[in-house]
Amino acid sequence: MEVDVLVIGWGKGGKTLAGALGRHGRTVAMVEQSEAMYGGSCINIACVPTKDLVHSAAERRPGDDPQTWFTDAVAGRDDLTARLRARNHAMLAEVDTVTLIDGRARFVGPHEVEVSAGSELLRIRAESIVINTGTVPAVPAIAGASESARVYDSTTIQHVSPLPERLLIVGGGYVGLEFAGMFAHFGSRVTVVDHGEQLMPHEDRDVADAVRALLEESGVEFVLGADVKRIEDRPDALSVTVASGGAINDFTADAVLVATGRTPTTDGLDLDNAGIAVDDRGYIVVDDHLRTPVPGVFAVGDINGGPQFTYISLDDHRIVLDQLVGKGLRSRADRVAVPSTVFLTPPLARVGMNETQARASGRAVLVASKRIADIAAMPRPKIVGETHGLIKVLVDPDTDLILGATVFSIDAQEVINLLALAMRAGVTATTLRDGIWTHPSSTEALNEVLAGLS
């Protein structure tokens, strides 16, 4: 088979590219090894289903049976992902010039791939190839972990059965914290074990302390400066051996979630056959235009080692599309003020520098910070009964421009987008402070918070 473009993997960047190029009249082959991943990780195992579960967990009332609520929540999650998966498949199947192929791809040359499906083999040659195979949860070397069916990763824990009464999470990063809050709200007793001496070391201490207080209020316990050494599968539970401060302690858990990062899925692609290089972490090496050293071969999404967000993968598609049908000018260097959100309850969102980074840069900084519960001109949190968190904005005193912001509040994932846009467009803090915002909303908090710059 010969096509103009071959896309390997149904991630956000790959599927969007396939559709866009197909509508431009290019012949496109889309190869995916798993029917369960039509549409990519985001809608099937990551962003959408996990946030659906976070929302369901937060809706559970004290009198609701934890197991029943969790079972119903998982069923709702599965129904949502099935509908999204079917729609994503149809969106490409409807494009006449796009051919969808089920199978596992491996390179046999710089522009030739062999796809296997059972005993069937198909050779595909393409002038342009886009690798979009993503990442999978990393597997740390913990004795006994791989032998137990009660040790889960961030994908498999979404279908844990029964709901664990006691859940131990290895890793206090953003994924681990999202699941900690989620399962605590579902009714599990959660313990987070993390190697670091401080929770969320890349955040300001006031923000990290506020997050920890929120989770502890939900019943989450933290064991920091600790390492899980062994997991022993016993008839009625797991015994987890944890080393901390020279001491060894055993914890009992019904399930263990390992949330220690992700690793690239390059195994089996036989990249060497095409001369495609990977870095020391296994990610495909690309330039700012997402080009590999092999002309015409690109890598988009998590597999290229960039920030692991679906909206970054979407922007990756724009860069490659510009290479293939545009002027070829767009690049990763164009990205300014990219926001991120950790979906706790309420969410924690950030853009630009935090206070620690801003002061370390040696520049003068004005800081406006206020607890959500103390913001009189922001009644929405009180209306919905969620007043945890804070808003913190950093401003350059010479230009009045936003250097960075942290929003730990209901609607944080929305408010941070406004602040990010302000940073990209050069909108001043004064303009935001004096803005006319709808009421009651979360955005109107900027009126009061920014009035306290000092």
Question: Catalytic positions, please?
Answer: 439
AA identity, residue 69: W
311 in a known ligand binding site: no
**Around Cβ 19, how many Cβ atoms within 10 Å?**
20
Phi, psi of 242 (to 5 degrees): -125, 130
Q: Which helix (H) or strand (E) holds 416?
A: helix 412-425
Phi, psi of 319 (to 5 degrees): -65, -45
178 in a known ligand binding site: yes
167 in a known ligand binding site: no
Q: Cα 5 from chain centroid?
A: 28
Name the pairing type of β-strands 247-253 and 98-102: unpaired
Three-state secondary-structure class, residue 238 = strand
177 in a known ligand binding site: yes
174 in a known ligand binding site: yes
Closest CA to 259 of 134, 144, 140, 135: 140
For residues 443, 444, 445 and 450, what is the CA-based torsion angle, rounded to 10 degrees? 100
Three-state secondary-structure class, residue 285 = coil
Using the 8-state DSSP alphabet, how is residue 260 labeled?
S
Q: HSE-up of 261 (CA within 13 Å, CB side)?
A: 8
Tokens of 27: 């012949």
Tokens of 78: 């599965």
What's the Cα-to-Cα distance from 321 to each of 3, 93, 155, rounded to whole Å? Answer: 16, 20, 31
51 in a known ligand binding site: yes
Spell out the residues 6+ positions from residue 322 whose beta carbon is closer than 8 angstroms to its own. Answer: 328, 329, 330
156/77 Cα distance (integer angstroms): 13
**66-93 and 174-186 helices, crossing angle to 10°:** 130
173 in a known ligand binding site: yes
Three-state secondary-structure class, residue 11 = coil
5/111 Cα distance (integer angstroms): 10
What's the Cα-to-Cα distance from 231 to each of 103, 251, 256, rounded to whole Å? Answer: 35, 10, 9
Q: Where are the alpha helices (DSSP H) in 146-304?
A: 174-186, 205-217
283 in a known ligand binding site: no
227 in a known ligand binding site: no
Provide the annotated binding site for FAD. 51, 302
Q: Residues annotated in the binding site for NAD(+), as ranges?
A: 171-178, 261
> Binding site: which residues?
51, 171-178, 261, 302
